[in-house]
Amino acid sequence: MSDFIVIVLFFIFLILFIIFSYYEGKREGLISSAFVFGIGSFFYYLSIPFEQLVFNLNKSYMGYDIDDFIFLRIFIFGTLAYVSFVKGYQISGLNRKYKAFLIEDKNKNKISPFGFLTIAFFSTVILIIFFWKLILESKTYVGAYTAKYTNWAFSYILQISIISYVILGNLFIDQKQKKVRLFGYIILILVITWGIYSSDKDPILMVSLCAVVNIFKKIKVSRVKIFCVFILVILIMGIFNVIFSLYRAKRIGEIFSYIKSPIIFSRSDARGPMISLIEIIESPLTPKLGVTLIRGLLLWIPRFIWPSRPLDLAQEYAMIKIKNWQPGQGLGFSLLSESYLNFWLLGPIIQYLIIGYLWGKLWILILKLFCPKRKYLMIKIYQVYGYYLLIIMHRGPFSGIVTSIMQFLFVIITAIIIDSIFLSNKKKTHLISALNWNKINLK
């Protein structure tokens, strides 16, 4: 009976996903915010319950004896979370401005990438000069994780370097000049190479989002196409996740035994957040009524500024689960778990409505404050980093989203300042040249 119910629920989610993605796709293109958030929601919230119930595997999942009703509740919560986020996003007004940003900026080929190019170049130089030993240690998954965990400077500089390169690649492959487009493809290939070298999926995810957006940007939006692309992307994500996990565990030889099995998502990265979600739902609790959201707005402040900064939910959860836990260590803690902690059964509706609204307003504010004359540039940034966050926000608490955005704001501000200085000097040079030419003519 549970397998039939979850299939019905899947089709309900799919219908809602197609409706919202089609509506938003008219403004943003086939790969819209509603589409990307829906992909993340399905992968991290719905895929494992669907797989477990359809194949009747739930009785022995990850060592837990889980009742079918728990998985059905999670599926319903995940669907409500998706709908609530999209409605909050729509209320914010960002979806109505998206298409206007692309149309308004008709001189996209004249946009200067100098700011991000400068950040990418100097961050790479710093990494090579000061952190070359950590780069060499990053050739294994354990080495890469340890290097980033033990050295926050290396971790942050590496992160802003990768983000800058992917944004540059996304800008360059959309230009008319073939040489510029080729340079963009080379940059993106190098980012993928680093992801493979360091056993890190996130750089590959960002490049993949960039590629998907550019592949489907000129394709007319239709419900059938949204359905087909959804199925294709979900299957690729699941299969790639399993293969990459085997690769970084140096067990790639077991790939054929995994392919024969119908289980895909239950072996993916969605496992960690799913365990936290199951435990939270099964445990008695007193709703926190949004306390973690308020606290999450402040936890981005570095510990050297705020020594007594409280732990985030992922660290609190890890402190209970990890033997000999040390500060900084965290486990996958689902954003959906946090919503349940805050508002119980209404959590998926209330928390995701708030997050969707704040998400839209935040990007509108970033545009107005930092990129008022660079709307097209802002969209290209959003297609890389914004879409990336819409995927990974499901595997961590609200404080993680805020921290990621605050760290990236520094990159945007720096890039815009560098860009403004470069363009200002360029205009002065042109003005001086013009004045000198007029003097020569007068003589």
Digit-by-digit pLDDT tens for the chain (443 residues) are: 678 888 999 999 999 999 999 999 888 889 999 999 999 999 999 998 888 888 876 555 555 667 788 889 999 999 999 999 999 999 998 877 666 555 544 444 456 678 888 899 999 999 999 998 888 888 877 777 777 777 888 888 999 999 999 999 998 888 888 888 999 999 999 999 999 998 889 999 999 999 999 888 888 899 999 999 999 999 999 888 888 888 877 777 777 776 667 678 888 888 888 888 888 888 777 888 888 888 888 888 877 788 777 877 877 777 777 666 665 555 678 899 999 999 988 999 999 999 999 999 988 888 777 666 677 778 888 888 999 999 999 988 898 889 888 888 888 888 878 877 776 665 545 444 444 444 444 44
pLDDT for the residue numbered 187: 94
User: 64 - beta bridge partners?
Assistant: 61
> Would the CA dihedral through 13, 21, 218, 94 be positive or negative?
negative
pLDDT for the residue numbered 329: 56
pLDDT for the residue numbered 260: 67
Q: What's the gap between Cα 149 and its chain centre?
A: 20
Both tokens of 262, joined, read: 């119908």
DSSP3 helix / strand / coil % (the chain, rounded to 5): 80, 0, 20
- Whole-prediction pTM: 0.88
Which residue do the tokens 């022995």 mark? 60
Cα(183)–Cα(196) distance, integer angstroms: 20
Both tokens of 330, joined, read: 């965290």
Q: Which residues contact 137 (CB under 8 A, 6 or more apart)?
A: 143, 144, 146, 147
Cα(206)–Cα(183) distance, integer angstroms: 17
